[in-house]
């Protein structure tokens, strides 16, 4: 698992989270994990893969 920074909508703060890469339904890459404080699911849209 890699470390990413994302926004937790429940805590309303940017947090670092451990997650894995997934491909969304529209073909975009995203990092998906959970907030280390409250446990809410977090997503981060990633750039195009080179």
- Reported as a single tens digit per residue, the pLDDT across 1-28 is 899 999 999 999 999 999 999 999 999 9
For residue 19, what are the domain limits? 2-45
Q: What's the total number of domains in the chain?
A: 1
CB 35 within 8 A of CB 49: no
Q: Of how many residues is the chain composed? A: 50
User: Does the residue 32 lie in any domain?
Assistant: yes
Looking from the CA of 23 toward its CB, the CA atoms found within 13 Å total 4
In a domain, 34, yes or no: yes
pTM greater than the 0.85 cutoff: no
């Amino acid at each position: 698992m890699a470390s990413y920074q994302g926004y937790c909508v429940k805590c309303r703060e940017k947090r670092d989270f451990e997650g894995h890469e997934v491909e969304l339904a529209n073909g975009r890459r995203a990092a998906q994990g959970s907030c280390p404080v409250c446990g809410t699911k977090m997503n981060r849209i990633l750039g195009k893969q080179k």
